[in-house]
Amino acid sequence: MPVQATIIGSQDRKLDELVRASGLRPTVASAVDLLTLTHPNSVQPDVLIMDVRPHGQIPTALSVLKRQHPTTSVILVASELAPALMLDAMRAGVNECVAEPLTAEQIGAAIGRIVAQRTAPVGGQVFAFVGAKGGVGTTTLAVNVATALALSDESTLFIDMHAAYGDAAVLLGTEPRFSLVDALENTHRLDLAFFNGLTVQSEAGVALLASSDHAPTSPIDVHRIRLLLDFAVRNYRYTVLDLPRSNPAMMDALEAAADIIVVTNQELASVRGASRVTGALSRRYGREKVSVVVSRFDKSADIGSSDIEQAVHAPPRFTFPSDYRLALQALNAGRPFVLDSSSKLASAVLTFTRTLNGDAGPEPAPSAPGALRTRLGARLGALRWMTS
């Protein structure tokens, strides 16, 4: 069936032409028609192309429309991807954002991703985060990504896969009564009603299955983890996992994960860890599922992106700036920073989250610094030798 597209709020003939160039025959409607489309009985286009360039704001009617008609896909056309606008767009449930300068390729790619999503089989996506080393910022990143995913009103589950003493509950500002261990002990009775009782909701609507505050009495069974993840895929649009790299059972049960994201920073020990972890996970699940991101990225650090690329045999997928004060403040307040900060760090997490839903292309890898490379060269060289 042909995809029906409607352009709203635009006087720009060029936009109409660019949409036509991607093979669609859009109708053009006025901003007033958006209100008509919010009506529960109104016939919906498959794709709504919302041009906010004249005023730079998301109309409130758009959130109403997405609540009434969640299957209507929305492409936002903006002058620029300002962090505040992106946050509002996510909250309103926008699927794709494109910005000036508009090109046929950019619009065609956005429409292509929407069409692919509309025809994809039903089933949630699982994103697994694992640290290359302790303390690199894995939980901070996973919690903020999950919160950003939940802002789009899609059901989002966070599983703290640390059998005991994980931190996600603190970062999400929740007080869980039950834990992962309870879920794994009861895989025979996993249904939504039972499972809802085990999870706790964060302020942004992330359902958290928390880590236990005491060590499990028996070893974690891989088969039970698989059952839990299968349940998550069937019942939640997005599942985010915070994985302990030291637990082999957890690392062995990730078939359901679409994306396994190894978090590193620019310390030699972390890069070594990233190399080992990505190697093992790529062999187990395939290279295409595994990627490396850099937390607290410093472009003048001794170890640069190209060094990390050499060690893990792929360029870093994304880099996140350092902002210790913000990260700590959010941790202490139990409120993920993507909720109210327009900082570079929050903005980076929002952009990265959009790449996970298939909303944007990858970030270009930053260029490597030249300084001190020689001094580190020998040690990194040894690492490359170890991992090749």
Q: Which residues bind ligand ATP (CB under 6 A)?
A: 131, 134-140, 167, 295-296, 320, 322-324, 327-328, 331, 345
If the CB atoms of residues 194 and 324 are measured against ligand ATP, the closer one turns out to be: 324
Helices then strands, each counted (H, E), the chain: 16, 13
Smallest distance from Mg ion to CB 144, Å: 13
Residue 331, both tokens: 């941790």
x/- string (CB under 5 A) for Mg ion, residues 124-143?
A: --------------xx----
Query: What's the CA gap between 367 and 291, in Å, rounded?
Result: 18
Whether residue 167 contacts residue 173, with contact meaning beta carbons closer than 8 Å, is answered with: no
Using CB distances below 5 to 8 A depending on partner kind, what does residue 136 bind out of ligand ATP, Mg ion, none? Answer: ligand ATP
Nearest distance, CB of residue 145 and Mg ion, angstroms: 13
Which C-beta is closer to ligand ATP: that of 238 or that of 320? 320
Strand blocks (E) in the chain: 5-8, 27-29, 47-51, 73-78, 96-99, 125-131, 156-160, 200-201, 206-209, 238-243, 259-264, 290-297, 318-321
Q: Per CB under 5 A, does 264 bind Mg ion?
A: no
Nearer to ligand ATP, 199 or 265 (CB): 265
What whole-number distance in Å separates Cα of residue 301 and Cα of residue 190?
47
Q: Considering beta carbons, is residue 127 or 320 the nearer one to ligand ATP?
A: 320
**Which residue's CB is nearer to ligand ATP, number 74 or number 330?**
330
Nearest approach, Cβ of 176 to ligand ATP (angstroms)? Answer: 17
Q: How far is the CB of 142 from Mg ion (least distance, A)?
A: 8
Residue 61 interacts, among Mg ion, ligand ATP, none and using kind-specific CB cut-offs from 5 to 8 Å, with none
Q: Could you tell which of ligand ATP, Mg ion, none binds residue 140, using a CB distance below 5 to 8 A set by kind?
A: ligand ATP
Tokens read off for 112 = 């292509």
Residue 326 CA: distances (Å) to CA of 133, 282, 336, 341, 344: 22, 33, 10, 9, 10
Closest CB 157 distance from Mg ion, rounded Å: 17
Q: Give the nearer residue to ligand ATP in terms of CB position, either 110 or 136.
A: 136
Least distance from ligand ATP to the Cβ atom of residue 286, Å: 24
Q: Which residue has the tokens 């869980």?
A: 176
* Residue count, binding to Mg ion (CB under 5 A): 2
How big is the chain by its Cα radius of gyration, in Å? 22
Pick from 150, 139, 143, 232: which is nearest to 184 by CA?
A: 232
